[in-house]
Each structure stands twice: as structure tokens, then as C-alpha cells.
Amino acid sequence: MATATIARIIHRIVKLSVLDQSIAVAGQDEDAAIRNTLELAPWCESLGYNRFWLSEHHSLATIVGTAPEILLAAIAARTRRIRIGSAGVMLPHYSALKVAEQFRVLEALAPGRVDLGVGRAPGADMATALLLNPNAYAAAEKFPEQVRDLHAWLSGAAYKGVVAHPRGAATPEIWILGSSNYGAQLAAHFGLPYAYAYFFSDGEGTEEAMRLYQSLYKPTEERPKPQATLCVWALAADDEAMAQHHALSRDRWRIDRTRGALGPLQSPDVIAARGFTSDEMTTLEATHRKSFVGDAAQVGAKLRALAETYGLDELVINTWTYDPVVRRRSYELLAREFALDVEARPGDA
């Protein structure tokens, strides 16, 4: 038996999914980021990824995906198998009924493959959040009630005398998103799937959040066992040096973010020419020790170890690159590394 085959048997079988954030890049109009996302979804479907999720952020010059529910409709029309969804809709900005209606429409467009990930965070600064909803502070406090109401309306039931149309045979799957213990406890209380934003803090807080979710989980008829995943930032290339070079774009962004300078992703070639200060390099060296950057085997080994640590059968991969071709290549390499159920791998006869 081939060594590669043996490795797949002894490793935990891990499904991979995608979180795309529509990242703006220097030298291009921001709307190009939306079109790049639109092109990435069917590509990832052909590679065998399980889900394709979109985030919601506001008034940011880097992450320009502001309306996942609209973009998901376009993605639904361009795909046929991959699950599609939000990671997530920032529920306190909106009426739970309106969100239920939007996602019931999406369910009609892509029956049986819609995920509705919801979060409590504003996905913006508070000034922007208050413009989206003048009652943003109070709405955030009512997030558990919103989740309860959302679940009822998505089920197709008449709730509070109102039905969220269109009804259908399938129902969008609700996920609770979080980067703290709050989301873990809420997901456990409602017996819902939970996605932890591992990439927000290079994994800090993951162990406690996952422990709380598992230990406090209240089984439901619909979901008798807990279901969790981690959203991880990862970048694979044909060799480690190439991966590290393309990761410079995000490295520069992270350093600039600490100074409050948030702009489009810069070219790694430009960044390499300018370099980093000694203090910046010290900061980056610490983050690099925790990074998922390298060739496919290196990144795959770290991702498998992470899945083993937390007993997960699925990981969600978030990748930023200046060049969309590099991003697509990264997802292709990881699909091959994890032997995903590929429809027609690029380059195969």
C-alpha cells in the first residue's frame, strides 16, 4: 500500500471548508474583491470543499464584504453542491424576522445547502454599528432572544403570529460564531453548531471556549451531539519560501493594524523591498511560530494536529493573498493534501 494512502488511513478524516472575506488589494478598485469572491466559490466547489462561507464587515478598507446575503444569492446560481453561508450575519444590526426571510429565499435558491452563521459582534467600530442600528447596544444584549426567534422563523412555523416565507422542505442550518466564551456557551445552550474564530487571536482562548461548548452542550432532537469547527488562517504554496513570501501581505497588514492603519492588502514584492523594522520583526517572529504557512505537507500536518487536539472532523480555512491566483493555488494544494472529494482537479486528465 502506498505511503500516502496509509497516511490518510491513520489520520483523522478532516473535511475542509472556506471562509472568504472579499479582501481589497492595493492598485485595484474594491469592487474587484467581490468579483474575486464570486469566482472563488465554484473553484472551491470543484476542489471538494464542504462549505463556502462569507463574512460581514462594515466601513473597513480591507475587508469589503458588507452584504453576504446578496453575494450568496449570486454564488447559489454558480454552484450546485457546496454548502454556502454566512460567517456571519451580525444579527444585532437587523430584525431576526428579516434575516429569516432572506435566508429562506436563499434556501429556495440552493435547497438543502444553506448555512446561517450569526454573531453578536458589530463587525465594525461602534460609530458605524450605531448608524446601522441606533439601538445597537440594547440589541447586542438581546442577542440570545434574537437567536431564539430566528430559529423559530427559519423552521417555517407560525411564530408570534408571523410566518417567514417562502417555506420549503429544507431549513437553513444555524451556526453560532464566536471568538470568546460567550458564543460557546450560547451555542451549547441552544444545541446549535459552533464555529470559533481561531484566526482572530492565533488560537488564544480556543481551549476554554471549546471545553465550555462540549461540556455545557444541551442535546436536541435535531442535533443530539455537539458540532464544532475552527476558522483558521492558512496559506500553502509550492514551497515554504514562496508561501512565506506571499504571507508578507497579511504580515504587513497585521503590523499596520496595531497602529490603526487599515487599508487594502499590499503586494508582497513591495513589502519585501521595504522590509520591516527590528521591532516589527520581533512581533512577527512570535506570530510566525503559530502560523499555518508553508508547503502543503507542512500546513496539512499543522491542520491535522489542530483537528486532533480538539476532536474535529472539519476545519474552515481563511486565506488572504494579494494575487487571487495564489489564493486559488493554496486552496488547490490543500484539497490535494487532504484528498478531498474532488470533481475534476485542475490539471487532471
The structural architecture, per CATH, of the domain 3-337 is Alpha-Beta Barrel (3.20)
pTM, two decimals, is: 0.93
Would you state the torsion angle of the CA atoms of residues 123, 125, 127, 133, taken in this order, to the nearest 10 degrees?
10
Query: Would you list the domain boundaries of the chain?
Result: 3-337
Question: Per residue in 282-313, is it b (16+ CB within 10 Å) or e — as a string?
Answer: eebeeeeeebbbbbbebbbebbbebbeebebe
Say how many C-beta atoms besides its own lie within 10 A of residue 71's C-beta.
20
Predicted pLDDT at 343: 62
Predicted pLDDT at 273: 97
Half-sphere exposure (Cβ direction) of 55: Cα atoms closer than 13 Å:
27
Strands of 63-217, DSSP E: 83-90, 114-119, 173-178, 194-196
Predicted pLDDT at 124: 86
Predicted pLDDT at 13: 87
Measure the CA–CA gap between 48 and 281, rounded to whole angstroms: 37
Q: pLDDT (tens digit, 9 = 90+) per residue, 173-204? A: 999 999 999 999 999 999 999 999 999 999 99
CA nearest to 295, candidates 236, 252, 209? 236
Maximal CA-CA distance, the chain: 63
Predicted pLDDT at 344: 47
Measure the CA–CA gap between 271 and 133, rounded to whole angstroms: 38
Measure the CA–CA gap between 313 and 47, rounded to whole angstroms: 18
Would you give per-residue pLDDT tens digits along the chain (349 residues)? 444 444 444 566 899 999 999 999 999 999 999 999 999 999 999 999 999 999 999 999 999 999 999 999 999 999 999 999 999 899 999 999 999 999 999 999 999 999 999 999 988 899 999 999 999 889 999 999 999 999 999 999 999 999 999 999 999 999 999 999 999 999 999 999 999 999 999 999 999 999 999 999 999 999 999 999 999 999 999 999 999 999 999 999 999 998 888 899 999 999 999 999 999 999 999 899 999 999 999 999 999 999 999 999 999 999 999 999 999 999 999 999 999 986 644 444 3
Measure the CA–CA gap between 142 and 209, rounded to whole angstroms: 21
Read off the C-alpha cell for 47.
476542489
Predicted pLDDT at 347: 40
Whether 50 and 115 have beta carbons less than 8 Å apart is answered as no
Environment class of 260 (CB within 10 Å of its CB; exposed 0-12, middle 13-18, buried 19+): exposed
Whether 103 and 95 have beta carbons less than 8 Å apart is answered as no
What DSSP designation does 82 have?
S
Whether 27 and 325 have beta carbons less than 8 Å apart is answered as no
Whether 215 and 226 have beta carbons less than 8 Å apart is answered as no
Half-sphere exposure (Cβ direction) of 174: Cα atoms closer than 13 Å:
28
